[in-house]
Amino acid sequence: MTTKANSLRPTNKDAALVDRANDVIANGMYGHQSVAGLPDGFPQFFARGEGSHLWDVDGNEFIDFMCSYGPIVLGHRHPSVDRAAAEQQALGDCFNGPTEKMVELAELLVGITPFADWAWFAKNGTDATVYALSLARAQTGKRHVLRASGAYHGAAPVWMKGAPGTLPEDSAYQLLYTYNDLVSVNDAVDKAGDDLAAIIVSAFRHDVFHDQELPTREFAQGLRDICDATGAVLILDDVRGGFRLDLGGSWERVGVKPDLSAYCKAIGNGYPISAVLGAEKLQEATGKVFDTGSYWYQAAPMAAAIATITQLQETGGIGTMERVGNRLRKGLAAQAESHGLEITLSGPVQLPFMTFAGDDGSARAIPRAALFCNEAVKRGVYILPHHNGFLSAAHTDEDIAKALEVTDVAFEAVKNEFGRA
Amino acid sequence: MTTKANSLRPTNKDAALVDRANDVIANGMYGHQSVAGLPDGFPQFFARGEGSHLWDVDGNEFIDFMCSYGPIVLGHRHPSVDRAAAEQQALGDCFNGPTEKMVELAELLVGITPFADWAWFAKNGTDATVYALSLARAQTGKRHVLRASGAYHGAAPVWMKGAPGTLPEDSAYQLLYTYNDLVSVNDAVDKAGDDLAAIIVSAFRHDVFHDQELPTREFAQGLRDICDATGAVLILDDVRGGFRLDLGGSWERVGVKPDLSAYCKAIGNGYPISAVLGAEKLQEATGKVFDTGSYWYQAAPMAAAIATITQLQETGGIGTMERVGNRLRKGLAAQAESHGLEITLSGPVQLPFMTFAGDDGSARAIPRAALFCNEAVKRGVYILPHHNGFLSAAHTDEDIAKALEVTDVAFEAVKNEFGRA
């Protein structure tokens, strides 16, 4: 890693793979890991990872502040997690039924999650949010779901209103509210009348391009009260925040218990597993709603999840992320001030996000953030301009110090290009 | 394994785990791997697998004719597949972007699949069928999809018309036809008018409880002709049959090319990956439809899929499955005849399914099949009464011979209980 822009680095392997991908992969690349929409300098293909660092196919090293968009919560190739998965794989992984690991993982999760009485496992965060909605509709016999405007709950057609390939019917009976705005929630509740099945809410607001918002206690409690009064099901989408804010669920921090919670990402340090945890009153609905997948009962990802959560418990991993996250946030704030740049650092420090005052996220016009991240990634600090980052328990004070050397140069570049905000 | 019923075997570990699961898992167990609907004697929890055999948590050994409901196509813990996955895991698995393995796998699949120009990867078969439908709607700007009555295309609400937790809107603009019946297809095409986006069809008919049906060439070509005439997209659901009938796609056997094909199950010998392969004319739609998942770019399952397909190619694995499948089918047919029992063995021999004449699958009343499978599983042969089985390339002539010793006893039990059909 160097704070000099590595314009001389060989980038031919990434470019060659991009060419090959263009010939045989849908749209060249697809989904959230396509770099087509990112500033120049972001590699498309990676070669290896270790702890808080990763390497692209051209051998460039990065301090990884995206953590694979969340899954890597203990660092790449964490030995105790990889060992747990490998020990299971040595016995077999995918059978005609689950293994004891499924029960152990469910017991662990139900044990650490105050509101939860049962667990359910799948592969994608989207599997979890869609299943939660189906449970709510089966439980209540009602149709409407309230969701926050701009929130991402997965890429299934039900959550992608108006997107190409979807029908208006795919997202029928959805009403919008504004995050942290109970007035807008109550308006939507009124519109739903006696047909309200569920309210789905992200653990904190993390819409792309938008400053993050932690939930106010009043907002969270207000949703709980509405659900208690109407019989609607409160679904917490904890896919993004889960296992980084509180091992008992992210809303333990505001003291409000959901009825269902959807998890993915950090649950298994990169091994593929998602989950819904639920309260006893939803248990009956789990006997009615059929959902399944070919690999949902795989044992190795469950062994990995047990090891991940145990490691987070035993080593105080969330505390580590908070400590280094605070250090990063304070450092960025001080640097921006010293350069005379106005920035906003928002959300939990474990999931850092920064916007520039001169940019317009609502119009997705963020040239300052794009330049900043371009300068950073060229110097070995992997962060994105439009999407929150992620810390892991493997990040060290040294990582933060090295990253801040780079971000100082990146701030300088923004000041030189755009002047003081 | 023994042909004596192992009524003395200790089953307390499975029962104890079922008790624990009832306390902490949704509905005790859920999805296709719950044994709640199976005859007595089917264990819920497994301990290990090797080749064509697996062991439950009480140490009972089974010849595995379900292969984890399809994924295990080379046998459990196949060394070359596990080695490929482990070598990737030693570098890391889940990054901020894919690895070279994604390009290699796409090149391999596009290379062996005559109709395909690009590949797309996800985690569930359902991810693949839902994405294919979205592509068809984005490509055509039309809404209706034709599907066969009784066919299973995944557990998403869009494919689960009328199921608890779903809304009628979830499966809007769907019209039914009867598999292998072009008259019914044309009726549905007429109903769709100029609003036909796609026809989805399973590689062969494999509805639960129903005798399997291979597609007639006339039927398959008729669907192709309709799609060519109307501009609708022909989607082959090859999740069940893929990589067991033909490495170029299951409809290579009838000489008809789909526009999109959905794969899962056998693609990675149990490692979690699904895929859509598509023709060039759908490439544009892949740039419009957004779909993604946290673990979709994982490298280890892609390495496993490369190893699985390469192994099937190099060792003639499909030929092996056909050979032992034919031996099993002939043996079962001869045994049934010798007992004076009327049975039907249907579908591809690699995916065996048997029904008894006296049972009524359409009413899901199959006491003969239930008793047969109960007697078989008690003696170490794992087959299901209502769902096709799966062979792998690890199954040997000795496995078939041993299994037939058991099935002979099971047929005898059916004859003693129900008399000759």
| Look-up of token digits 């759908």 | B282
Instruction: Indicate the residue type of B234.
Output: L
Residues 100-119 of B with CB under 8 A from A: 100, 102-103, 106-107, 109-110, 117-119
The 10s digit of each residue's pLDDT in A251-273 is: 999 999 999 999 999 999 999 99
- Give the Cβ contact number of residue B305 at 10 Å: 29
Q: What is the mean pLDDT of residues A181-207?
A: 98
Q: What is the pLDDT of residue B421?
A: 55
Q: Which of B134, B176, B127, B133 is nearest to B156 (CA)?
A: B127
Q: What is the pLDDT of residue B8?
A: 41
Q: Tokens for A177, please give them.
A: 């509210």
Is pLDDT at B126 greater than 50 in this prediction? yes
Q: What is the mean pLDDT of residues A315-337?
A: 98
Is pLDDT at B219 greater than 60 in this prediction? yes
Q: Counting one residue from A and one from B, how many pairs have CB atoms under 8 Å apart? A: 339
Picking from A70, A82, A293, the nearest residue to B126 by CB comes out as A293
Is pLDDT at B6 greater than 50 in this prediction? no
Reported as a pLDDT band with limits 50, 70 and 90, residue A7 is very low
Q: Which of A248, A187, A236, A178 is nearest to A210 (CA)?
A: A178
Q: How many CA atoms lie within 13 A of A49 on its CB side?
A: 35
Reported as a pLDDT band with limits 50, 70 and 90, residue A95 is very high
Chain A residues in contact with B128 by the CB 8 A cut-off are none
Q: Are the beta carbons of A175 and A151 closer than 8 angstroms?
A: no
Q: Which helix (H) or strand (E) holds B63?
A: strand B61-64
Q: Is A289 on the interface with B (CB under 8 A)?
A: yes
Is pLDDT at B7 greater than 70 in this prediction? no
d(CA A408, CA A404): 6
Picking from A44, A91, A265, the nearest residue to B97 by CB comes out as A44
Chain A residues in contact with B103 by the CB 8 A cut-off are 17, 20-21, 24-25, 45
Q: Is B393 on the interface with A (CB under 8 A)?
A: no
Instruction: Indicate the residue type of A26.
Output: A
Reported as a pLDDT band with limits 50, 70 and 90, residue A2 is very low
CB contact under 8 A, B44 and A97: yes
The average confidence (pLDDT) of chain B is 96
Q: What is the mean pLDDT of residues A285-295?
A: 97
Give CA B207 to chain center in angstroms.
Answer: 11
| Look-up of token digits 């995206």 | A66
d(CA B373, CA B37): 13
Reported as a pLDDT band with limits 50, 70 and 90, residue B10 is low
- Which residues partner with A235 through β-bridges? A200, A260
3-state secondary structure of A236: strand
* pLDDT above 90: percentage of residues in chain A: 96
Q: What is the mean pLDDT of residues B251-271?
A: 98
Give CA A60 to chain center in angstroms.
Answer: 25
Q: What is the pLDDT of residue B1?
A: 43
Q: Is B125 on the interface with A (CB under 8 A)?
A: yes
The average confidence (pLDDT) of chain A is 96
Q: Are the beta carbons of A122 and A274 closer than 8 angstroms?
A: yes
Chain B residues in contact with A287 by the CB 8 A cut-off are 27
Picking from B71, B90, B109, the nearest residue to A94 by CB comes out as B71
Diameter over CA atoms, chain B: 64
Which are the contacts of A45, defined by CB distance < 8 A and separation ≥ 6? A13, A14, A17, A18, A56, A57, B97, B98, B99, B100, B102, B103
What's the pTM? 0.97
Give CA A367 to chain center in angstroms.
Answer: 24
Q: Which of B254, B269, B286 is nearest to B117 (CA)?
A: B286
Q: Are the beta carbons of A167 and A214 closer than 8 angstroms?
A: no
d(CA A159, CA A152): 7
Is pLDDT at B327 greater than 80 in this prediction? yes
> What length is written for chain A?
421
CA distance B419 to chain A (A): 32
Q: Tokens for A368, please give them.
A: 């300052």
Q: What is the mean pLDDT of residues B300-317?
A: 98
Is pLDDT at A11 greater than 90 in this prediction? no
Is pLDDT at B239 greater than 80 in this prediction? yes
Parallel, antiparallel, or unpaired: how do β-strands A274-278 and B174-177 relate? unpaired
- Which residues partner with A176 through β-bridges? A147
Q: Are the beta carbons of A207 and A386 closer than 8 angstroms?
A: no
Q: Which of A104, A95, A105 is nearest to B55 (CA)?
A: A95
For chain A, the first-to-last Cα distance in angstroms comes to 29
Reported as a pLDDT band with limits 50, 70 and 90, residue B2 is very low
Q: Which of B36, B45, B161, B32 is nearest to A294 (CA)?
A: B32
Q: What is the mean pLDDT of residues A87-99?
A: 98
> What length is written for chain B?
421
Residue of A nearest to B138 (CA): A165
Residues 211-250 of B with CB under 8 A from A: 239
Q: Tokens for B76, please give them.
A: 């459990």
Q: What is the mean pLDDT of residues B290-296?
A: 97
User: Exposed, middle or buried, B397 (CB in 10 Å: 0-12/13-18/19+)?
Assistant: exposed
CB contact under 8 A, B64 and A172: no
Q: Are the beta carbons of A205 and A179 closer than 8 angstroms?
A: yes
**Concatenated DSSP letters of B265-313:** GGGGTTSS-EEEEE-GGGHHHHTT-----TTTT-HHHHHHHHHHHHHHH
CB contact under 8 A, A71 and B172: no
Q: Tokens for B385, please give them.
A: 């009464």
Q: Are the beta carbons of B305 and B267 closer than 8 angstroms?
A: yes
The 10s digit of each residue's pLDDT in A112-168 is: 999 999 999 999 999 999 999 999 999 999 999 999 999 999 999 999 999 999 999
The 10s digit of each residue's pLDDT in A390-419 is: 999 999 999 999 999 999 999 999 999 999
Q: Which helix (H) or strand (E) holds B237?
A: strand B233-237
Which are the contacts of A411, defined by CB distance < 8 A and separation ≥ 6? A335, A336, A339, A341, A372
Q: What is the pLDDT of residue A421?
A: 55
Chain B residues in contact with A135 by the CB 8 A cut-off are 165
Could you give the dihedral angle defined by the CA atoms of residues A31, A291, B240 and B392, in that order, rounded to the nearest 10 degrees? 110
Q: What is the pLDDT of residue B420?
A: 75
**Concatenated DSSP letters of A130-143:** HHHHHHHHHHH---
* pLDDT above 90: percentage of residues in chain B: 96
- Give the Cβ contact number of residue A338 at 10 Å: 12
d(CA A177, CA A183): 9
Q: What is the pLDDT of residue B40?
A: 85
Q: Are the beta carbons of A277 and A284 closer than 8 angstroms?
A: no
Is pLDDT at B70 greater than 50 in this prediction? yes
Chain B residues in contact with A20 by the CB 8 A cut-off are 103, 107
Q: What is the pLDDT of residue B11?
A: 65
d(CA B271, CA B211): 29
Q: What is the pLDDT of residue B3?
A: 46
d(CA A220, CA B344): 59
d(CA B231, CA A388): 42
Q: Which of A247, A233, A166, A177 is nearest to A205 (CA)?
A: A177
- Give the Cβ contact number of residue B172 at 10 Å: 17
User: Exposed, middle or buried, A161 (CB in 10 Å: 0-12/13-18/19+)?
Assistant: middle
d(CA B227, CA B115): 15
Q: Which of B351, B381, B350, B383 is nearest to B366 (CA)?
A: B383
Is pLDDT at A87 greater than 50 in this prediction? yes
Q: What is the mean pLDDT of residues A326-351?
A: 98
Cα radius of gyration (chain B): 22
